[in-house]
Chains A and B, each alone.
Chain A
Amino acid sequence: MWEYTDEVKDHFLNPRNVGIIEDPDGMGEVGSMACGDALKLFFKLDENKKIKDAKFQTFGCASAIASSSALTEIIKGLTLEEAKKVTNEDIADFLGGLPKEKMHCSVLGRDALEKAIANYLGEEDKRIEGEIVCECFGVTDLEIERAVRENDLSTIEDVTNYIKAGGGCGNCHEKIQEIIDSILGREHPVKKKPAKLTNIQKIKMIEETFEREIKPALKKDGGDIKLIDVDGNIVFVRLQGMCASCSKSQVTLKHYVETKLRELVSSELVVEEVQ
């Protein structure tokens, strides 16, 4: 059971401004039935270019319907310049707040408003820019960046609550984390590779990677590996245990050891086996 405010319940049970405007000045459509919510927003301007009338149609849960209703109430009487400044937070505040898992309903409203204004101005849809990060809900990196910045989001869960990204299969969680980290100025652990390594740094990192990553993995299969020397970007190793007699050892070397070293130390490293 969601804790909806009385305002949410009221706007859900008695939504204002439902319907379509036959000859609208602006129209914006966002969401889809597959995603679970969708909103179509219409507005009409008066002679002073203020929003005279706004109407909506919404497919979605109680908070999606209430957010749409609230949005139309908020924008009536505003100039387009004023309407452009309406945020998803304004919609949530108008309703006395939304459960955090439902914040995406307010974002849906804001997005529809933006689209409708762009439609009036004859502008290209800004939302299709950027690269899709969340394939389940079709959310781009730019949209995630914007949501994080505007709402001070700091976790993947926040991002999911606000714009749904990451709420499906979860394959994009790493990418979302990277976006959050880069905005918050956190260094992402995977990117911790210094641009140029000194020889000492390189050898130290190779040694560490051997101990922490490569040896434990090979040991699981009864094998072992010894680091013999590092000359420039060539890493000389000797295979021991099961690995030494295994015909697949070349594959192991090339595909596993090299990949690991390239990922964690330097992309230029080459692995050579010595007998």
Chain B
Amino acid sequence: MKIIYVDNNATTQVAPEVLQEMLPYFTETYGNPSSIHSFGGNVSYKLKEARARVAALLRAAPEEIVFTGCGTESDNTAIKAAILSSPDKKHIITTRVEHPAIKNLYEYLSKKGYRVTFVPVDRKGNLDIDFLYKNLSEDTAVVSIMWANNETGVIFPIEEIVAVIKERGIIFHTDAVQAVGKIPVDVSKVNVDMLSISGHKIHAPKGVGALYIRKGTKFFPFLIGGHQEKGRRGGTENVASIIGLGRAGELAADNLEVESGRVKFLRDKLENGILKRVPNSMVNGDIENRLPNTTSISFEFVEGEAILLMMDEFGICASSGSACTSGSLEPSHVLRAMGVPFTAAHGSIRFSLSKYNTQEEINYIIEKLPPIIARLRELSPFWDK
């Protein structure tokens, strides 16, 4: 069966160009970049190139990039470094719609004596910025706000926010895992202190990420060990994957126009096609202000896991904010924070596209999905034609 993959906010295919560039570093050129001999040492030149490529994607300087094991590690590193650099401050701020990498870390810190403020969002998923500003205090150590939301694609006005936060001398971190490669993320214009990215969301492999740390930002390593990454992250480098991330970063920089052009076009086509054919369906999140590849659609009176498994029969891969898919009993914290009624939250499906999706695939989904919803509604005691 052909796989129609529209779950690119979960993970992406490794780009063929990326894989090709990685392969020699598993086989022929397997040296350790820290070695003195040239067999290993030569690898370090390739790491340097990867660092420069990732830096270029963010318009940062190469020495401001630290490679990590994943987006979650980048987030943890950033927040822990921030609170260690202001040990007297016991207040930290984030939003109610963060990825678990930040959300659960903040909840953990709240049990360790930190006062935590979770900034709410409105019905469209836009941030309550006044609430954020009102809660800044002398005691605030760090503010962490995602650049774009993984479930709805809603983009937060980081440039505007960061200016206010920096004026107050508070450290600002952003989880830009979903934004990078989809919309311009330029740290030469946006004054963030730290920024997390993840390889596997931008067609590099799983198991590699990066943290941007602005020059002059106080830093404490999360993994303490060898001198790798200039002592900022101990542990032998995941060489091949870092090289892959470098190449993926380069491709992502070139790909931004495709994202805002063809990918957005396909996303809109998919969304409109579904909304037109399925009654009682609606988009979650601000349709103007969001990532070009993402749409979260709620289908009333049916449950998301059932939709996903029926789509799975046709090879269509998406995800859901329903409770049943995650093993928890409550629907996604993002949709609940937005005040999406439970009736709609349980039946929400996220489609997230990439440059590899085609017109035919989108047509196929538009053809296959409406009968699935109709069938599940026939089963549902709440559906009343």
Binding site for B on A (CB under 8 A): 12-13, 15, 18, 29, 33-40, 57-65, 101-102, 136-137, 160, 164, 167-168
Known contacts A12-B306, A65-B306; A33/B382 CB under 8 A = yes
Asked if B343 contacts A34 (CB within 8 A), the reply is yes
Docked Cα-Cα span, A137 to B304, in Å, equals 19
Q: Which 6 A-B pairs have the closest CB atoms?
A: A167-B329, A61-B324, A61-B305, A57-B381, A40-B381, A34-B342
Interface residue B379 (Cβ < 8 Å from any Cβ of A):
yes
Given contacts A57-B380, A61-B303, whether A36 and B309 have CB atoms under 8 Å apart is no
Question: Complex formed: what's the CA distance from A46 to B324 in Å?
Answer: 37
A18, A36, A65, A137: most-surrounded residue (chain B CB, <10 A): A36
Contact with A along B287-306 (1 / 0, CB 8 A): 00000000000000111111
For B378, the chain A residues whose CB sits under 8 A away are: 18
**Closest chain A CB from B307 CB (angstroms):** 10
Q: Which residues of B contact A62 (CB under 8 A)?
A: 305-306, 309
> Which chain A residues lie closer than 8 Å to B310 at the CB level?
13
| Residue B244 lies at the interface, judged by CB distance under 8 Å to chain A | no
Residues from chain A with Cβ under 8 Å of B309 in the complex: 12, 62
Within the complex, the shortest CB–CB distance from A116 to chain B, in Å, comes to 13
> Which residue in chain A gives the minimum CB-CB distance to B325?
A61
For chain B, the bracket of interface size reads: 20 to 34
> Are the C-beta atoms of B329 and A57 separated by less than 8 Å?
no
Are B343 and A60 neighbours in the complex by a CB distance under 8 Å? no
A15-B379, A61-B322 are contacts. A37–B330 as well, Cβ < 8 Å?
no
A156 to chain B, nearest CB (A): 13
- The residue of chain A having its C-beta at the shortest distance from the C-beta of B331 within the complex is A36
Residues of B within 8 A of A63 (CB): 324
Give chain B interface residues in 333-353, CB to chain A under 8 Å.
342-343, 346
Task: From the candidates A13, A29, A39, A137, name the one contacting B313 in the complex (CB within 8 A).
Answer: A13
Q: Please list 20 pairs of residues, one from A and one from B, whose beta carbons are closer than 8 Å in the complex, sorted by A's number.
A: A13-B310, A33-B301, A33-B342, A34-B343, A36-B323, A36-B329, A36-B330, A36-B346, A37-B303, A39-B381, A59-B301, A59-B303, A60-B324, A61-B304, A62-B306, A64-B324, A65-B379, A102-B324, A167-B330, A168-B329
Chain B residues in 8 Å Cβ range of A102: 324
CA distance A12 to B307 in the complex (A): 11
In the docked arrangement, what's the CA distance between A167 and B382, Å? 23
Chain B residues with CB under 8 Å of A136's CB are 329-330
Whether B27 sits at the interface, judged by CB under 8 Å, is: no
Residues of B within 8 A of A39 (CB): 381
- Chain A interface mostly: mixed
- Chain B residues in contact with chain A, CB under 8 A? 301-306, 309-310, 313, 322-325, 327-331, 342-343, 346, 378-382
**CA distance in complex: A61, B328 (Å):** 13
User: Across the interface, which residues of B come within 8 angstroms of A164, CB to CB?
Assistant: 329
Alpha-carbon gap, A101 to B329, bound state (A):
9
Contact residue among A36, A65, A167 (Cβ-Cβ distance under 8 Å from B322):
A36
Q: Are A33 and B305 CB-contacts (below 8 A) given A57-B381, A61-B322?
A: no
Query: Complex formed: what's the CA distance from A33 to B303 in Å?
Result: 9
Chain A hits for B325, CB < 8 A: 61
A58, B381: Cβ atoms closer than 8 Å: yes
- By beta carbon, the residue of chain B nearest A12 is B309
**Docked CA distance A58–B346 (Å):** 14
CA distance A113 to B183 in the complex (A): 53
Whether the Cβ atoms of A18 and B303 lie closer than 8 Å is no
Query: In angstroms, how far is the closest chain B Cβ from the Cβ of A132?
Result: 16
Chain B residue contacts of A13, Cβ below 8 A: 310, 313
Taking the closest CB of chain A, its distance from the CB of B11, in whole angstroms, is 13
- In the bound complex, CA of A39 to CA of B343 (Å): 15
A160–B327 Cα distance when bound, in Å, is: 11
Write out the residue numbers on chain A whose beta carbons fall within 8 Å of the beta carbon of B379: 15, 18, 57-59, 65
Tell me the minimal C-beta distance from A253 to chain B in angstroms. 26
Closest chain-B Cβ to A164's Cβ sits at a distance in Å of 5
Smallest CB separation, B355 vs chain A (Å):
26
Bound CA–CA A136/B336 (angstroms) = 14
A62 to B304, CA, bound (A): 9
A57 to B378, CA, bound (A): 8
Known contacts: A33-B342, A33-B346. The answer to whether A59 contacts B382 by CB under 8 A is yes
